Amino acid sequence: MAELRFDGRVAVITGAGGGLGRSYALLLASRGAKVVVNDLGGTFDGTGASETAAQKVVDEIKAMGGEAVPNYDSVSEWESAQKIVQTAIDAFGKVDILINNAGILRDKSLIKMEIEDYRKVMAVHLDGTFFCTKAAFPFMRENNYGRIVSTASAAGVYGNFGQTNYGAAKMGIVGLMNCVKQEGAKYNILANTLVPVAGTRMTQTVLPPNIVEKLKPEYVAPIVAWMVSEQCDVSGNIFTAGGGYFSRAAVVEGPGVFFDTDAGDITPEMIMEKLDEIKNMAGAQEFGSATEQTGKALSHMKFD
Ligand code: NAI
């Protein structure tokens, strides 16, 4: 297998001052990419700011002979997200790769969650992913090339106690990427989503130390490298990675049942009678777009 390389490619990686983002930055830079290391440098719950985190990773990359510049802006505002992307344009003239990785946590049960905890988490994860993607997209379109990876979480895809804010933002990112996939298709812009698990300062708060230590971010980075490479051949996919485990997750739909709407009203009792079939997931399928799914729903109907 030929070595995966990023020579001549420019990558913007948000939240790359530590944890998972740092491991992506080091891997891509070690294989020839020029990297914008973005990090606001605050605490894991999104307070404060510091230039140290991003600068340290830039220093690491330079020390191994790579090319990188720091950026300390927040992903969570439209103006500052534009500055992150502009840093790539100013330093390297383009942006080929965007990894939306920046994140914070404010876990609380729904009852105890302050509105500010909800808003702040949505702002960093969902708004931040939207803003950075919107800022990078025109430059990618101009070059007819783009690779976008955004970061979801099992907490959003499958649910987790105490993470209504985080789970909503993370599953929102899946919806966002499903649509970016459509808009990027004709410009060779691929948009995929990652569901990682790794021992970082974020998971230090919830996982025991022996697990945190073994779940190295470096076990996630290789699939991210493929997802942002020229060799990547999928868009709108979700990949899970962590602790040496790699898989693809997907939203699928069962075969379902069709009622003849010309035969009369559909009652709740008719639904309850057919629940086993409605719930059945054997033979479930994926859809490439909302149009495809609606096409199936309407496939048995006759229109004038
Ligand atoms: P981390 O806390 O080590 O890294 C997140 C980085 O984002 C930090 O360096 C932080 O300073 C930066 N950041 C926070 N707010 C920012 C903002 N507004 N603008 C720019 N940078 C900002 O945590 P980790 O684990 O590396 O997380 C990376 C991503 O992976 C996050 O999106 C997280 O939600 C996601 N994730 C991580 C999992 C894990 O097991 N570690 C599990 C599922 C998802």
Is-catalytic flag, 158? no
Rounded Cα distance between 175 and 165, Å, is 16
Rounded Cα distance between 241 and 220, Å, is 5
> In this structure, which amino acid lies at residue 211?
I
Indicate if the pLDDT at residue 249 is higher than 90: yes
The active-site residue, picked from 24, 118, 145, 166, is 166
pLDDT digits (tens, 9 = 90+) for 173-203: 999 999 999 999 999 999 999 999 999 999 9
| Predicted local distance difference test score (pLDDT) of residue 257 | 97
Q: How far is the CA of 202 from the centre of ligand 1 (A)?
A: 7
pLDDT digits (tens, 9 = 90+) for 113-171: 999 999 999 999 999 999 999 999 999 999 999 999 999 999 999 999 999 999 999 99
Phi, psi (deg, nearest 5) at residue 57: -70, -40
Instruction: Check if 167 has its Cβ closer than 6 Å to any atom of ligand 1.
Output: no
Indicate if the pLDDT at residue 205 is higher than 90: no
Q: How far is the CA of 100 from the centre of ligand 1 (A)?
A: 9
Q: How far is the CA of 189 from the centre of ligand 1 (A)?
A: 24
Q: What is the pTM of this model?
A: 0.98
For 26, the token pair is: 């080091």
Instruction: Give the ligand 1 atom nearest the CA of 42.
Output: 11
Give the start-to-end residue ranges of the domains of the chain. 10-249, 261-298
Instruction: Give the ligand 1 atom nearest the CA of 17.
Output: 9
Sheet holding 146-151, edge to edge: 67-71, 34-38, 10-13, 97-100, 146-151, 189-196, 238-242, 245-249
Fold of the domain built from segment(s) 10-249: Rossmann fold (3.40.50)
Based on DSSP, count helices (H) and strands (E) in the chain, helices before strands: 12, 8
pLDDT-above-90 percentage for the chain: 97
Residues 6+ apart with CB under 8 A from 224: 24, 27, 99, 149, 194, 241
Instruction: Give the ligand 1 atom nearest the CA of 105.
Output: 34
